[in-house]
Structure 1
Amino acid sequence: MSCKSISHPILSMLVFFIIVFIPDYHVIWADESSTLPTKQAEQLSKAVETLYRDVVAGNITKVREETVQIERLFTSSSFQGLTEVEGIHALAECIVEVKVATSQALLQPELWLQATAKLRLAADSLNNRTQPLWHQYYKVVREDLSTMQSQLNLNNKEGLKQAYDSLQTHYELIRPAIVIQKKPFEVNMMDSWISYAGGITTSTSSKSDAIQSMISQGEEQFNTLFGKKKDEPAFAPQIQFNTSQKGIWIGALFIVTILSYVGFRKYRGEERSMKTLPPPKL
């Protein structure tokens, strides 16, 4: 059996092991169609960022032109694999909202800026999966919840309602971006809590215990939404040998073993071929 016939199944097994047992390893296929949605999302995000700057500058003429361009980018793109149907629908609603707000920009400039900010967060969420802009609102949301808690402690129902209104406004601003990245059931759970919190803070018959429980639930919900842990330490241990890292170490040892074996067989094959060469003619 030649070295060539041995190395092929071994290398195939090596590739299979890498794909199955090493979680952080990804195979990138040279398929242009798979990268097209990502490129389209990047183009859309850049166009919306330019739009946002022109809205801040108050340039209505440019904004109208750029809104048309953004709408064309959206309708000509698929974004397949980047989000679900709900995410596409949320993004479309943001574009429509900006169009409407632009037509009323002189009368309601604050709503114009708010609609554009919502679109910017949504477009960035589609383009940026690891560190999206909407994650920066975690501190803002936590401050709203903290204010709700302090107003509850003071038995200030009006202050509690104002703090909730601030929280709801911030949530509505980042909601399309959340819909784009999160599963529908996660969004539904958050929506349900927002609705429940609105009802209990508005009602004059709500008891303090019920409001306290609602705020605690909200803290847990938002921690989960932003990928936080309720009581996670500020500094993680220097060495955390978890299951994923164990898999990587085992995979590395497996790879070294396989490559060493393949190299050894190749060496033995070359050694045999050298021995069978005829002697040089003198």
Structure 2
Amino acid sequence: MFVLGFHLTLRRIVRMKVLLPGMLAMIALLCGMPRVNADSQQSTKSQAAYARFLSQAEQLYAAVNEGKLDVAMARLAALERQFRSLPMQGIATAEGIHALAQSVADMKRTSVALKPDEGKWKAGAAELRLAADELAHPDRPIWHTYRTVFLNDLATLEEAMPLSTALPGPVPESVNAAVGQLVEHYRMIRTAALLHSEPWIVEKADSSVRYATRIVQGETLTPGLLRGIVAPLREAIIGLFPGQKETSGALVPPLPMPPSWGWSAMMGSFIVTVLTWVGWRRYKVEQNTGIGPNKRREPLDEQEDAAEKLLKRWKNKK
């Protein structure tokens, strides 16, 4: 009896050893299922919230471009309510959240102006639509198609540059207009880019745009120094976009581009180009060390106001 009982006990132990891993795996699976289901439900809710936010942004964009400002005001109020209910944990960086909140606030300030600026209305509506689309479609956002727009902007800027053999003098109006146009386009995608990219990538673009704007605002410049702004702009702006083939057909039309002035683009001297690059790097150091403007948004806004004045001046001369 003792031997028989021992064998039965041994068989039970062996059977338990065989069944135990499977039982533990089943328990772990059952315990993990609620967590997986909860995460899936949260993701679905987030996507639904982003889709509603995009819908309001699209309706706002349509109302602004149709000139229906009363409708646009109502759409903006609805968009602000949707913004307050967005799941912010789905946005990767605090900078992205701040940029989106700033875009909504800027649009509200534009809407309550005594004399609404149609250009700011359209630019702000486009900015919000691109940002909302980035949240709803992070894999294929519309703003990625602006890569071609910026390549055209840079080509226009290069064509507008004076010949490298020209004497020092005032900045050509065509260069001012080209830089102003590029700044407008950059402002339009900046919030969407911050929702998508690492902050330092956007900060690099901010620095290059501010530096280029400061250079063209100079009273008298050598052609070589002026031409040197193109390379940093190209590197920083195109660096915002993932590697892809050039595409055309952005669903959000950019602001009208100034006509080409037909000037030949020529390469400046190597020494002047290097000095220009060093100047740009020094300007970045000044920004990072607190010398001069040290806020991310405010310096860009100030330069954009100047660019906007230049664009208006150019339009008045047409």
Question: TM-score, length-normalised on structure 1?
Answer: 0.66
1:224 is aligned, of 239, 246, 251, to 239
Which amino acid in the other structure matches residue 65 of structure 1?
A
Question: C-alpha deviations, 1:73-98, integer Å up to 9, x for none?
Answer: 11122231333211112111222222
Using the TM superposition, give the Cα deviation of residue 153 of structure 1 relative to its aligned residue in structure 2, in angstroms: 4.6
Which amino acid in the other structure matches residue 191 of structure 2?
P
Residue 92 (structure 1) aligns with: 101
Which amino acid in the other structure matches residue 178 of structure 2?
A
Residue 71 (structure 2) aligns with: 62
Residue 212 (structure 1) aligns with: 227
CA contact (8 A) 1:38 1:82 kept: no
2:37 is aligned, of 3, 15, 30, to 30
**How many Å separate the matches in 2 of 1:126 and 1:223?**
21
**How many Å separate the matches in 2 of 1:90 and 1:139?**
24
Question: Per the alignment, do residues 233 and 176 of structure 1 end up closer, same or farther by CA in structure 2, a change over 3 Å counting?
Answer: closer
CA contact (8 A) 1:105 1:112 kept: no
Percent identity of equivalent pairs: 27
Q: How many pairs are equivalent?
A: 217
CA contact (8 A) 1:40 1:79 kept: no
Using the TM superposition, give the Cα deviation of residue 166 of structure 1 relative to its aligned residue in structure 2, in angstroms: 0.9
> Is 2:202 aligned against 1:202?
no
**How many Å separate the matches in 2 of 1:93 and 1:82?**
15
Using the TM superposition, give the Cα deviation of residue 205 of structure 1 relative to its aligned residue in structure 2, in angstroms: 4.5
Question: Per the alignment, do residues 233 and 90 of structure 1 end up closer, same or farther by CA in structure 2, a change over 3 Å counting?
Answer: closer
Question: Per the alignment, do residues 228 and 200 of structure 1 end up closer, same or farther by CA in structure 2, a change over 3 Å counting?
Answer: farther
* Further displaced range: 108-117 or 95-104: 95-104
Question: C-alpha deviations, 1:136-161, integer Å up to 9, x for none?
Answer: 22122111111111122545733222
> Is 2:157 aligned against 1:148?
yes
Residue 120 (structure 1) aligns with: 129
Using the TM superposition, give the Cα deviation of residue 107 of structure 1 relative to its aligned residue in structure 2, in angstroms: 4.1
**How many Å separate the matches in 2 of 1:102 and 1:233?**
35
Which amino acid in the other structure matches residue 30 of structure 1?
N
> Could you say what the CA RMSD is over the residues aligned between the two structures, in angstroms?
3.3
**How many Å separate the matches in 1 of 2:108 and 2:57?**
13
Higher RCO (CA 8 Å, separation ≥ 6 residues): 1
CA contact (8 A) 1:41 1:79 kept: no
1:172 is aligned, of 187, 191, 194, to 187
- SS at 2:140 equivalent: coil
* Further displaced range: 109-118 or 159-168: 109-118
Which amino acid in the other structure matches residue 217 of structure 1?
P
CA contact (8 A) 1:45 1:124 kept: yes
2:177 is aligned, of 136, 150, 162, to 162
**How many Å separate the matches in 1 of 2:143 and 2:49?**
20
- SS at 1:131 equivalent: coil
Which amino acid in the other structure matches residue 98 of structure 1?
M
**How many Å separate the matches in 1 of 2:45 and 2:69?**
31
**How many Å separate the matches in 1 of 2:156 and 2:22?**
64
Question: C-alpha deviations, 1:76-131, integer Å up to 9, x for none?
Answer: 22231333211112111222222232334964223222211111111112222122
CA contact (8 A) 2:100 2:131 kept: yes
Which amino acid in the other structure matches residue 69 of structure 2?
I
